[in-house]
Amino acid sequence: MNVFTKRTQKRKQKRLKRKSLETERLKAQHGLQDSTDIIIVEHSNTLTVMIQAAGQIVRFLAATIFVGFCLLGLASVCFPGPRKEMVEIGIALITQLREYLPFLNVIFWR
């Protein structure tokens, strides 16, 4: 068994222990300590679910945009026309940065 499998098992055990402690707390809160066949589940409120869904959508869009930029960069490296234009844009970008942010000249370009 490798290290990653052991870590995964430990995480699962901690998660199960946390769930069982939460269930016991909810049973004590509702006065159902004696019953073993009843499982109490506390659902998240709607706002929390909406925030989590929005977070997942933002993560998906960010990953999609990142992959798109990677493909665009790969295409600009592979083909000579876009490569020349990207080099010109890069040189113009560095020139603009040196002009607008003179403190960078002291740090990077002595």
Where are any strands of DSSP class E within 40-98? Answer: none
Structure tokens at 10: 């430990």
pLDDT of residue 30: 77
> For the chain, where are the alpha helices, taking DSSP H only?
3-30, 46-78, 80-100, 103-107
Structure tokens at 88: 């010109």
Domain layout of the chain by residue ranges = 1-42
pLDDT of residue 1: 64
pLDDT of residue 84: 86
pLDDT of residue 58: 96
pLDDT in tens, the chain (110 residues): 676 788 888 888 998 898 888 888 878 887 777 777 777 666 778 888 899 999 999 999 999 999 998 998 888 888 888 888 888 888 898 888 888 888 877 777 66
What is the CB neighbour count within 10 angstroms for residue 40? 14
